[in-house]
Amino acid sequence: MSKDKSPDESKPICFVLMPIADSLGYEPGHFGRVYEHLIKPAIIAAGYVPVRADDTVKTNYIVVGIIQKIVESPMVVCDFSSRNPNVMYELGIRHAFNKPVVLIRDLKTEKIFDIQGLRYAEYDDTLRIDAVHKDISKITSAITETAASKPEDMNSIVQLAGIKTAEAPKGQTISADTQLILSTLSSFDKRLENIERRGDFSVSTNRLSEMFAKDGPRSYRDPDDSLALANGRKARKGDMLFRNGAAFGELLDWNLVAGNVGVHTPDGLKRLLRVASAEFRELDTQAL
């Protein structure tokens, strides 16, 4: 397969750099909706096939593969909303090679000093349908204009600073041993991600108390000392939580900055539940 074509060989790839996991200050699943309802339609309208690192339908990239896509894709769209450090790192790699990249951010994200001199398109983070239609058109135009730009007009720090562009070594390959190690690490990473998504791991009482110390530097508590659940109800320490009508466990404590909730389950385990997990979003203070 040609490295500058989509998996179906019909159109060029536009690789997307953006937050993938839930981010502080945004509703769960927010950036997934941004990708599906804003970025993907804009890329398709511009004549490209959108691919994101976690797009498992089209890809199964390990870390090295992701970097290769960042460098080799004909077009890249980078959403630096929430100032995600992984996204900024990936953008730096793309800029180093002075390849075409379209920058976008939502209206609530503050400007970043290092790239504030570059062109970028803004979109409404509320994703209202009237705003989405306008923003899709705006991003599509930015992609087509960037694709038509001359090399000396690239929208990158390298071009702005007038420094030498990085070059990828020709014909360099990864050894079988290195590929095996990277694949194994990728497998471990996926397993850990699945565990965290389920919130399915237990911790000791001392460790739990340490993580949720009320006056700890990473703690955050609502004024009424309650935890807001995804359905709008509030729970306090000691309350019983329910999931799909069944008792899930007693609420022990929480730390919203770290994104963790401690629950004492009926089987005696003290579980550390991720706020971004599907389980947390299904919790209620009432049985059906």
How confident is the model at residue 114, as a pLDDT? 60
- For residue 199, what pLDDT is reported? 45
Residue 6 falls within a domain, yes or no? no
State residue 232's pLDDT score: 85
Q: How high is the pLDDT of residue 3?
A: 45
- Closest C-alpha to 121, from 155, 95, 94: 155
Q: What angle do CA 164, 147, 84 make, to 5 degrees?
A: 70
pTM: 0.57
The answer to whether residue 7 is domain-embedded is no
What is the residue whose two structure tokens read 């004909």? 74
Q: What would the two tokens of residue 37 be? A: 């309802």
Indicate if 79 and 163 belong to the same structural domain: yes
Q: In this structure, what token pair is assigned to residue 223?
A: 């004024």
Last residue of a domain, one of 188, 212, 228: 188
Determine the pLDDT at residue 113.
Answer: 62
173 with 211, same domain: the answer is no
How confident is the prediction along the chain (288 residues), in pLDDT tens digits per residue? 444 444 556 789 999 999 988 888 888 889 999 999 999 999 999 999 999 987 744 455 556 778 888 989 999 999 999 988 889 889 888 888 888 999 999 999 887 766 666 888 999 999 999 999 999 999 999 999 999 987 666 655 555 555 566 566 665 565 566 555 555 555 555 555 555 444 444 555 555 555 555 444 444 455 567 888 888 889 998 999 998 888 889 998 887 766 788 888 887 778 888 887 878 888 999 876
- DSSP helix/strand/coil, 12: coil
Whether residues 73 and 130 fall in one domain: yes
Domain shared by 258 and 201, yes or no: yes
Q: Bridge partners of 263?
A: 251, 271
Same domain, 27 and 72: yes
Are residues 141 and 86 part of one domain?
yes
Residues 166 and 204 both lie in one domain: no
CA–CA distance, 46 with 60 (Å, rounded to integer): 24
Report d(CA 288, CA 282) in Å as an integer.
12
Residue 5 lies in a domain: no
Please say which residue of 162, 188, 214 terminates a domain. Answer: 188
Q: How many CB atoms lie within 10 A of CB 273?
A: 25
Residue 139 lies in a domain: yes
**Into how many domains does the chain fold?**
2
Tokens 């389950």 sit at which residue? Answer: 265
Whether residues 178 and 201 share a domain: the answer is no
Q: What is the pLDDT of residue 219?
A: 45
Q: Do 128 and 259 fall within a single domain? A: no
Residue 8 lies in a domain: no
Task: Identify whether 62 is part of a domain.
Answer: yes
The secondary structure of the chain in percent helix, strand, coil, rounded to multiples of 5, reads: 35, 20, 45
pLDDT of res. 63: 67
Residues 179 and 234 in one domain: no
Which of 167, 188, 209 delimits the end of a domain?
Answer: 188
The verdict on 184 and 201 lying in the same domain is no
What count of Cα atoms within 13 Å lies in the side-chain half-sphere of residue 95?
Answer: 21
The per-residue pLDDT for 6 is 47
Tokens standing for residue 258: 């770290």
Would 3 be classed as within a structural domain? no
CATH number at residue 134: 3.40.50.360
Residue 247 domain flag: yes
Same domain flag for 104 and 210? no
Structural domain of 81:
13-188
Q: How far apart are the first and last CA of the chain?
A: 53
Question: What's 56's DSSP letter?
Answer: T
169-206 burial, b at 16+ Cβ within 10 Å, e below that, comes to eeeeeeeeeeeeeeeeebeeeeeeeeebeebeeebeee
